[in-house]
């Protein structure tokens, strides 16, 4: 037990983002590196514990204020159901380009299969547990094959105090082998994400924002045969922001509704079942500025998952 607390203290000490910068004031060219270690633990799960140490990094290079390229990745070590899964994650490479004249931003990127994909059947059950949304682990999975995405965002101020925005992105997911078995290949469904939002400025220090997000999934395939479809998810967000000189307060509310999932059986027989519970989240975030080198950050979050037939529902966190 003492070793666990010592590890937490060490991680807290080193959980400081590193920002090496090289700035040219004429074209705003700069590079920012951020390294973020985490330690997460859950107890009382299937008479076991879930522990994960992860260290995520992101490297962003700004060629100017309109063009940015970034790469993200990380390392994770997880324990669940008496199994240990460790290794590097996939790396994500992305390019962001803004057309300010038309209030448009483009995003394109690729998920590079650098993470461990094939794991044995004994550890696969642990991987399924780690991937449950309710635990909110920073690295629920390591390798997911090659994915490509592209997105477009548009925003427009319709008055001095109101801004509206629309966005769409599409992700193409490649085939890979999640289990150490050359006879099984898994092709996740492609995803279409649609967003719309509106921001209101109540005064110089207060804003309210609302967003609606829709995620539409296709069919997952195992060995080129349809096996599962996650249907559609609808997410509603409401954000209140208040600034007090150098301090800030954020109140965030989210509701996520998941449609029934569809399972494909033999002879194209299908049936539907809800396996992802709807959930509600409330968050209060306050940042207290002390000095140029110290800011205190207070965070309170609560989640509720609706009761359904699946195991990991009706959680009140």
HEC string of 185-203? Answer: CEECCCEEEEEEEEEEEEE
- Residues 72 and 93: their CA atoms lie apart, in Å, by 7
For residue 14, the cross-strand partners are none
What residue has token string 């140029």?
292
Q: Are 194 and 151 in contact (CB under 8 A)?
A: no
Cβ-proximal residues to 65 (8 Å cutoff; 6+ apart), any chain? 28, 98
For residue 266, the model assigns a pLDDT of 62
User: Would you call 157 helix, strand, or coil by DSSP?
Assistant: strand
* 125: Cβ contacts below 8 Å, ≥ 6 apart: 81, 83
CB 61 within 8 A of CB 96: no
**What CA–CA distance (Å, rounded) separates 250 from 187?**
39
Smallest Cα–Cα separation from 167: which of 87, 77, 110, 96? Answer: 96
CA–CA dist 98, 68 (Å, integer): 9
For residue 14, what is the enclosing H or E element?
Answer: helix 2-14
Give the CA-trace dihedral at 41, 45, 48, 53, to 10 degrees: -20
Q: Are 93 and 109 in contact (CB under 8 A)?
A: yes
Q: What radius of gyration do the chain's Cα atoms show?
A: 22
Burial class (CB in 10 A: 0-12, 13-18, 19+), 302: exposed
CB contact set of 60 (below 8 Å; sequence gap of 6+): 31, 32, 33, 34, 68, 69, 70
Give the pairing type, strands 225-229 and 219-222. Answer: antiparallel
Distance CA 133, CA 43 (A): 16
pLDDT at 3: 42
Please list the pLDDT of the chain residue by residue as tens digits (317 residues): 444 444 444 444 444 434 444 444 445 789 999 999 999 999 877 677 899 999 999 999 999 999 999 999 999 999 988 888 888 889 999 999 999 999 999 999 999 988 776 777 778 878 888 888 888 888 887 788 899 999 999 999 999 999 999 999 999 999 888 887 777 888 999 999 999 999 999 999 999 999 999 999 988 998 888 888 888 999 999 999 999 989 999 999 999 998 888 888 765 667 778 888 899 999 999 999 999 899 999 999 999 999 888 777 888 88
CB 299 within 8 A of CB 311: no
pTM, two decimal places: 0.82
């Amino acid at each position: 037990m003492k070793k666990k607390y010592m590890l937490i203290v060490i991680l807290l000490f080193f959980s400081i983002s590193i920002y090496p910068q090289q700035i040219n004031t004429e074209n705003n060219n700069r590079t920012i590196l951020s390294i973020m270690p985490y330690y997460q633990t859950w107890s009382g799960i299937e008479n076991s514990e879930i522990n994960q140490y992860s260290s995520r990094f992101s490297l962003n290079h700004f060629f100017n204020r309109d063009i940015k390229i970034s790469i993200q990745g990380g390392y994770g070590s997880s324990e669940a159901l008496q199994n240990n899964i460790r290794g590097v994650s996939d790396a994500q490479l992305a390019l962001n380009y803004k057309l300010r004249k038309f209030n448009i931003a483009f995003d394109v990127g690729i998920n590079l299969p650098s993470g461990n994909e094939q794991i044995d059947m004994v550890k696969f059950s642990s991987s399924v547990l780690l991937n449950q949304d309710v635990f909110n682990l920073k690295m629920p999975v390591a390798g997911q094959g090659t994915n490509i995405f592209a997105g477009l965002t548009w925003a427009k101020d319709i008055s001095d105090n109101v801004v509206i925005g629309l966005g769409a992105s599409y992700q193409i997911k490649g085939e890979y082998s999640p289990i150490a078995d050359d006879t099984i290949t898994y092709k996740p469904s492609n995803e279409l994400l649609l967003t719309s939002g509106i921001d209101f400025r109540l005064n110089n220090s207060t804003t309210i924002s609302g967003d609606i997000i829709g995620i539409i999934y296709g069919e997952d395939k195992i060995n080129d045969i349809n096996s599962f479809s996650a249907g559609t998810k609808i997410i509603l967000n409401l954000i209140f922001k208040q600034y007090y000189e150098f301090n800030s307060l954020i109140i965030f509310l989210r509701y996520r509704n998941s449609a029934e999932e569809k399972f494909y059986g033999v002879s194209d027989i299908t049936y539907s079942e809800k396996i992802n519970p709807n959930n509600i989240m409330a968050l209060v975030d306050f940042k207290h500025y002390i000095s140029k080198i110290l800011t205190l950050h207070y965070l309170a979050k609560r989640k509720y998952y609706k009761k359904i037939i699946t195991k990991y529902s009706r959680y009140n966190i």
